[in-house]
Structure 1
């Protein structure tokens, strides 16, 4: 999709790390993909971070979000609530390369703290606008409703594993929301394990595996390959997996 490849219009064009601001004993220096990074460039309206648990992708996304001015737990740049201090020192050690266009709106959305964000949304809506009752809906329904209420053109949106709240069908709905907003000059940086969301046409996928951050084709991601292998060879895979587990229990 050619409309996705318009670097000059991106609010966030790259990120660099000042390692002098990170303690020598910090756990960040043990994250292979991050410790060797000097500069990460964004060249696409939709960038997706993918990788194994602990590879540093959510840590990087959170640092970008906090450095940009978002609340560490999520929400807009106007949110000031805090239920726990979770963000890493990477937030203060990175520098963002910003484009000339300032977004009209933005949102940092992470599945793990969605309840707190939804509660804040309900409280803030009482002060103006249409009152929201996110807790009266199911987790997935309220998550998607919040997306539809807050995503718009010419924005910047950072999403951390949004699939955790959504069924496969709702993930397709989110995919459509993302693509439509990108068509209207919004930028997305997203962390996901979902083979559905990874399949957004034209998105740039960056892998945090193999000790470095590098581009990867959709079909080469573990999320795609393992899902494909399971669907096509379910019986053999489960038989082997469960057989190995039984042997380990002996």
Structure 2
């Protein structure tokens, strides 16, 4: 049994200034060029470099599909601070006729603390393992979430879930996501994790620097290649970064 509740996404470009954020992000440029992005049954991964727009697109899909921008199910209606981009207001989400998920959730690592607080405020801890998520580590609370709150035939949108997890935790999450897919769930996941990208049967869409959204195999994904190259020869990689390129920095040095 394979779940497919969201069929595709497209962007209404009427009146948009494509030179301005978020419409100038590579992944949005790719979506506009393609006209429509089909979402496969099971799991679709969005991967690509920092700044490509993966998280912004997942957030926009969540908003367009009726989720709370900070996370949670469609029943969550709290707001801490509105930081979502306007992309979701212009996104068109196509649903598969006659198919409605039995469960749903939008997870974003950066605001899950706020979601956990709301869960306590409304007394819903029992649905998440019977214990306050604030009494668990970030990784433990995420594993509680997917173990106790994610159910078969569900629709789940996840933004960089690896931020919470150790390598061992990622393997546990991978097994649970595989179980949920086999039970008829559909997921859209933005990730950099080569462990999660190994999920059997998943579709991997990579945002390229030129704006293309390219379907790649596991071995073709940049996150996999860079990690594999480093782990195969870490000293060589370090020598290249720290010796051959002594000025390699993310930004200017502090004064």
Give the TM-score of the pair, scaled to structure 2: 0.89
CA contact (8 A) 1:52 1:208 kept: yes
Q: Cα distance 1:185–1:148, how it changes in 2: closer, same or farther (>3 A)?
A: same
Return 5+ residue gaps in structure 1 as ranges: none
- Could you report, residue by residue, the CA deviation over 1:202-245 in whole angstroms, capped at 9, with x for unpaired residues? 10000111421120111111111111111111111112211134
1:113 pairs, out of 97, 111, 114, with 111
1:41 pairs, out of 38, 41, 48, with 38
Q: Cα distance 1:243–1:47, how it changes in 2: closer, same or farther (>3 A)?
A: same
Cross-structure match for 2:142? 143
More deviation, 18-27/126-135: 126-135
Cross-structure match for 1:170? 169
Give, in whole Å, the separation in 2 of the partners of 1:80 and 1:108. 12
CA contact (8 A) 2:23 2:87 kept: no
Alignment of 1:70-219 (within 5 A): 70-99=67-96, 100-125=98-123, 131-209=130-208, 210-219=210-219
Q: Cα distance 1:174–1:247, how it changes in 2: closer, same or farther (>3 A)?
A: closer
- Deviating beyond 4 angstroms after TM superposition, the runs of 4 or more aligned structure 1 residues are 126-131
Give the TM-score of the pair, scaled to structure 1: 0.91
Cross-structure match for 2:23? 29
Cross-structure match for 2:220? 220
Instruction: Give 1:54 deviation, angstroms.
Output: 1.0
Give, in whole Å, the separation in 1 of the partners of 2:102 and 2:240. 52
Aligned length: 243
CA contact (8 A) 1:125 1:131 kept: no
Cross-structure match for 1:13? 7
Q: Cα distance 1:147–1:217, how it changes in 2: closer, same or farther (>3 A)?
A: same
Give, in whole Å, the separation in 2 of the partners of 1:164 and 1:189. 16
Instruction: Give 1:248 deviation, angstroms.
Output: 6.5
CA contact (8 A) 1:13 1:97 kept: yes
- Could you report, residue by residue, the CA deviation over 1:148-207 in whole angstroms, capped at 9, with x for unpaired residues? 121110100000000000001011111111111111111011000000001101100001
More deviation, 211-220/26-35: 26-35
Return 5+ residue gaps in structure 2 as ranges: 250-255
Give, in whole Å, the separation in 1 of the partners of 2:171 and 2:187. 16
- Could you report, residue by residue, the CA deviation over 1:80-130 in whole angstroms, capped at 9, with x for unpaired residues? 111111111110111111012100110000111111111111222259867
